[in-house]
Amino acid sequence: MAKTRIGFIGTGLMGKPMARNLLRAGFPVAAFNRTRAKAEELASEGARIVDSPREAARDADVVITIVSDTPDVEAVILGDEGVIHGARPGAVVIDMSTISPAVTRRIAADLAARGIAMLDAPVSGGVTGAIEGTLSIMAGGRREVFERCRPVLEAMGKRLVYCGGHGQGQMVKLCNQIAIASNLLAAAEAVVFARKAGIDPSTMIEAVGAGAAGSWVINVLGPKMAAHDFAPGFMVRLQQKDLRLVMQAASEMSVSLPGAALVHQLFAAVEAEGRGDEGTQALVRVLERLASVS
């Protein structure tokens, strides 16, 4: 039986290792990236590099998009050279970006009018998860489409969760970002408190991380906070984009999210220093300044 043919759009920090895992799983991949050089590295691994999203979709059974923001997804799917003009009826578009749930539903409707199915399937797990193929994938759309695409998703992720209809994958991803925001603040506060008390933050993380307060953020990003290692696994500016989506959705549903709103404002202070391309662990800088910790 022939392998599912993949069109892959967006070979950035997350997309490139995800496309690489599809190639390693034996899927034929046609890759597009706006900056072509970022896709060309995959050519030596078997990918066919193309010049537009439309071309990436032309022969594909499944088209995957993972780009930065809502307007970018609209452009690569619905734009003049977008997927919608190349994909044939019966194909599936899987958007793995984190974008507006409302826009996701509109894109799904536009694709459905052409006989093209869609899943919104944002991911969690950062660059490490993308490299190792252990991402958590939260999917919205028709269940039968999700099940049909399971082998493709399994090449990139370890935990696949069907969340409901179109847009619900995005809603669950926003829940993830709400929880991450509060965890980042808690870890940063603990690191700064320890340092102010004259305790090596690494010692604190070793003790706390093994107990009830342990979390992925404490155990993975906590040591980076302590070491002032701000190399991005996930950039501040992208976290801010996600938190803007959170606050917009919360406003539409009349949901109060004081914790997420506070972290959103603290990250604004990080961005004001020109550090939007640093990893989200850079939040600790703001807390250090507030506590006069050098």
23-33 pLDDT, tens per residue?
999 999 999 99
Question: Which domain does 177 fall in, by range?
Answer: 171-290
User: pLDDT by residue (tens digit) across 72-117?
Assistant: 999 999 999 999 999 999 999 999 999 999 999 999 999 999 999 9
- Domain match, 75 and 112 both: yes
Of the candidates 80, 49, 34, 13, the one whose C-alpha atom is nearest the C-alpha of residue 234 is 13
- Domain match, 186 and 139 both: no
> Does the pLDDT value for residue 234 go beyond 50?
yes
So what's the pLDDT on residue 294? Answer: 78
Residues in the chain: 294
> Does the pLDDT value for residue 264 go beyond 70?
yes
| Residues recognised as catalytic | 173
User: What CATH number has the domain bearing residue 268?
Assistant: 1.10.1040.10
The whole model's pTM is what? Answer: 0.92
- Of 165, 182, 197, the domain-final residue: 165
- What whole-number distance in Å separates Cα of residue 280 and Cα of residue 290? 18
User: What CATH number has the domain bearing residue 57?
Assistant: 3.40.50.720
Mean pLDDT over the full length of the chain: 96
> Does the pLDDT value for residue 1 go beyond 80?
no
* Cα angle 203, 209, 215; round to 5: 145
So what's the pLDDT on residue 271? Answer: 98
- What whole-number distance in Å separates Cα of residue 164 and Cα of residue 49? 34
Mean pLDDT of 163-189: 97
- Of 165, 195, 215, the domain-final residue: 165
- Domain match, 32 and 156 both: yes
Are 221 and 280 in contact by the 8 Å Cβ rule? The answer is: yes
- Domain match, 159 and 204 both: no
Using CB atoms within 10 Å of the CB of residue 247, give its burial: 0 to 12 exposed, 13 to 18 middle, 19+ buried.
Answer: middle
Q: Please indicate, yes or no, if residue 276 is contained in any of the structural domains.
A: yes
> Does the pLDDT value for residue 233 go beyond 90?
no
- Domain match, 88 and 148 both: yes
User: pLDDT by residue (tens digit) across 214-230?
Assistant: 999 999 999 999 999 99
Q: Please indicate, yes or no, if residue 1 is contained in any of the structural domains.
A: no
Mean pLDDT of 55-84: 97
Q: What is the number of structural domains in the chain?
A: 2
- Of 106, 140, 165, the domain-final residue: 165
